[in-house]
Structure 1
């Protein structure tokens, strides 16, 4: 089919050539798109971005079952975040309970983040091979049980051991939840839905903070928050049991006859890694920056309010809740606008805006001022994050959306795992004079300097990286489909030739449109 769009140079090959082209494309309003015609021939052209649609009309495009998959994916990610933040927002309580320093308690956060990549690899590959359903069910129920095990940890060593095991299973949630929720969404609604979906993380923080506010500031009250988190995770696991595998995964698996080729799963995995290793490394670097971004700016924030700003438990918790409310709003709005302005532009502007707000974030005194500045900085921090679910899905090899997204995200988490511990350790070694004339750990300056460096790192990395906004990955089957299709063609299986061509097409780099 002929097109009236202006032709463009092909996608660059190689690391430096790709970075140079990406930087140049950032300042062009039109998007470089790889187009495949009905004969399988490819060319590259410039296309105008699709105009933003009314969000309510985008919501209306999702069918009832699509909403079901999305909501359960959102709740799984929310429960995952609740379980994680149940510890970070109660660092002071846990330090008193186990008679340890706050830095010692944040060792548990480091261990949790360090081991999440292992769980992401296991459950991500299981999700790509066997489907999104049962890996998620198993994941969520075990998470809940490990929350209960945390409550019954009598010694600090037992506590650390359970939180390490918790990290293994926590890592498996993100990839399957994101893939399940977004693969059923219409293409032009994915920016908006990505922004909402990512805010399950912030919403989980808000729920954990509200629970912490409700149980009060007594030392023993930390256990109640963990009981709530355990019930939440197990409930999501049972909810996922009640409806079937996603239609997109089932149809793609049938089309590729992946069940008939058990050895092709690992063969195609090796082919993908050989072909896409640069993309894998890029996404890991990007997610390392992003995980430092969120953990540095939020994990020690409640501790900062309690120690440096002298707020009691209730006002500090309320300020934390409003901070993460800003995250929910920002992630949704900026994720939505990325459908029009582009994934990379949205991320870069949000990151730079967050850097500009840092002085207003750490300098004010009093609950109201700190709540307002916390709301604004997290509006942009999580605004940038709101683009990530769909950006990673579009950058990933189509057949590996669950494992690629989960593994790159959690490897970034692993590398950034010492973030909270580093902030606490540096802050506790450097004292500043507070507004009351007292000496206190320098949480504000440490978080501010670190967040500024990270925001600039995100802007630079994103500016030099690829973008595949609008990529059509919904027809790609599980790993093994491409090689099975190629095998069928070699054997002269005409009935599968078209399906094989389709699978190969959506596996190519670039944005595939017919």
Structure 2
């Protein structure tokens, strides 16, 4: 599809070229096209000088400079989405941080309880599809409000279960509805965000996950360890704050981009509605599928790597600290807090720098440096383990900082929340057995700690993370990047440049 614009100067020819550069075309599988693509993988890692020339050193070195470009409404969208994502993470980590207590209560092994984590990850794709589709059809707000309400009910229900089977059942339902949060929340945070602030906003938004982990650590220590209800209290507590988020969503309108895309969807929905053809795919959907099917496959593979890095370094880490290192509750809390402070610092720093270094290259550099930090993270036993945990999570979650905006820039404009959430959660599905794999293999390496039997989780987790970092370097190197593209529904409409063709513009 193409547009003819009435434009008055050759300067606008550069704007047209920049727009057309970001148009996603259907994949071509000729030998020439494939060779050209792979030859460009190295050169395309780097941000062009012409793009860097738009920024001052102050822009590059000071992430808060970019944040000053956000309007009050941008801040409202971003902060509300950040808080929603934070409590989604808190709800999830309430299980992993109480694994030992749950194991003792249900009289099951840690590897048995880890299946409750895997079940959540396996079923999140269901929610991502359902609520992502709703987000495209009806906007982001109402699907998020429904999601949050149901999650509140399920958290309350989790606190009342009395047997292992019921616990697995409630967590399975939790996984279905948890999966609908990320796609709509990320779209809500980023769609109206100024281009210069996208990297840092993406990084801070993603660290809602780490901030949620940090809050889960703090509240577990403050509430669970001092409540007569034990592990149940954290689930009851986390069910309350989302009601305030529901109120916030009700008061805010949809983003400008979402409003435009909803109008465009209605205009472009030319599917036949005759009897027997009611479910014919619309022209817009057909076009999106032709352009993006290969990118979607890539995004799932990419997100599998990211999710393996996150779950592989976090889910069993508290268990390793207590069961293998012999850390007490206070010391384990401190180390986990330090790790998550590192994650948040990495998200802010590397998310911002990805706008100037490039999304792909940022992840590749972070993966190399993260590999360097593995030893200190896993094998230190003194105070040095805090530094190891800080820097490993700095680079793990620093890599994650690019995920929301990288997915948004590579997703079809009219199906952004669907593809954002679905690719993220299918990657989760692929990595869903991370904690189970680590705990099961770890139990094959028994060791003795202070005269008691334990398992060598540190060695298994270190090898696991080394493999994941290698995979991320490879998958990011071969993948595409569409940094700085428009996020509205007209992104893939190529514009004819009359000036380039004729030397002048025709006024209409």
TM-score above 0.5, yes or no = yes
Alpha-carbon distance change, 256 to 365 in structure 1, aligned in 2, over 3 angstroms? closer
Tell me the distance in 1 between the aligned counterparts of 2:195 and 2:321: 42
Unmatched segments (≥5 aa) in structure 1? 32-45, 478-501, 507-514
Within a 5 Å distance, the mapping from 1:91-240 to structure 2 comes to 91-217=99-225, 220-240=229-249
Alpha-carbon distance change, 275 to 252 in structure 1, aligned in 2, over 3 angstroms? closer
CA offset digits 1:372-424 (Å, max 9, x no partner): 21111000000000111111111111221111110000000011111111111
Q: TM-score, normalised by structure 2?
A: 0.86
Alpha-carbon distance change, 185 to 29 in structure 1, aligned in 2, over 3 angstroms? closer
Unmatched segments (≥5 aa) in structure 2? 1-9, 273-279, 496-508
Tell me the distance in 2 between the aligned counterparts of 1:23 and 1:352: 18
Aligned to 1:496: none
2:486 to 441, 463, 472: 472
Are 2:484 and 1:504 equivalent residues in the alignment? no
Q: Are 2:346 and 2:393, in contact at CA under 8 Å, matched by a contact in 1?
A: yes
Alpha-carbon distance change, 163 to 3 in structure 1, aligned in 2, over 3 angstroms? closer
2:293 to 277, 282, 298: 277
Q: TM-score, normalised by structure 1?
A: 0.85
Aligned to 1:396: 411
1:371 to 367, 386, 402: 386
Alpha-carbon distance change, 228 to 270 in structure 1, aligned in 2, over 3 angstroms? farther
Alpha-carbon distance change, 122 to 3 in structure 1, aligned in 2, over 3 angstroms? closer
Tell me the distance in 1 between the aligned counterparts of 2:137 and 2:203: 27
Alpha-carbon distance change, 29 to 241 in structure 1, aligned in 2, over 3 angstroms? closer
Q: Cα distance, 1:254 vs. partner?
A: 3.0
Alpha-carbon distance change, 133 to 457 in structure 1, aligned in 2, over 3 angstroms? same
Within a 5 Å distance, the mapping from 1:285-434 to structure 2 comes to 285-366=301-382, 368-434=383-449
Q: SS where residue 248 of structure 1 aligns? A: helix
Q: Are 2:269 and 2:284, in contact at CA under 8 Å, matched by a contact in 1?
A: no
Q: Are 1:26 and 1:345, in contact at CA under 8 Å, matched by a contact in 2?
A: no
Aligned to 2:39: 21
Tell me the distance in 2 between the aligned counterparts of 1:331 and 1:244: 28
Q: Cα distance, 1:428 vs. partner?
A: 1.7
Tell me the distance in 1 between the aligned counterparts of 2:243 and 2:14: 52
Are 2:493 and 1:461 equivalent residues in the alignment? no
Q: Are 2:132 and 2:180, in contact at CA under 8 Å, matched by a contact in 1?
A: yes
CA offset digits 1:350-371 (Å, max 9, x no partner): 11111111111111113x3222
Q: Are 2:63 and 2:349, in contact at CA under 8 Å, matched by a contact in 1?
A: no
Instruction: For CA contacts below 8 A with separation 6 or more, give which structure has more relative contact order.
Output: 2
CA offset digits 1:24-78 (Å, max 9, x no partner): 32465528xxxxxxxxxxxxxx754643614333222111111111111101110
Alpha-carbon distance change, 239 to 27 in structure 1, aligned in 2, over 3 angstroms? closer
Tell me the distance in 2 between the aligned counterparts of 1:28 and 1:171: 34
Q: How many correspondences in the alignment?
A: 464
Tell me the distance in 1 between the aligned counterparts of 2:123 and 2:286: 23
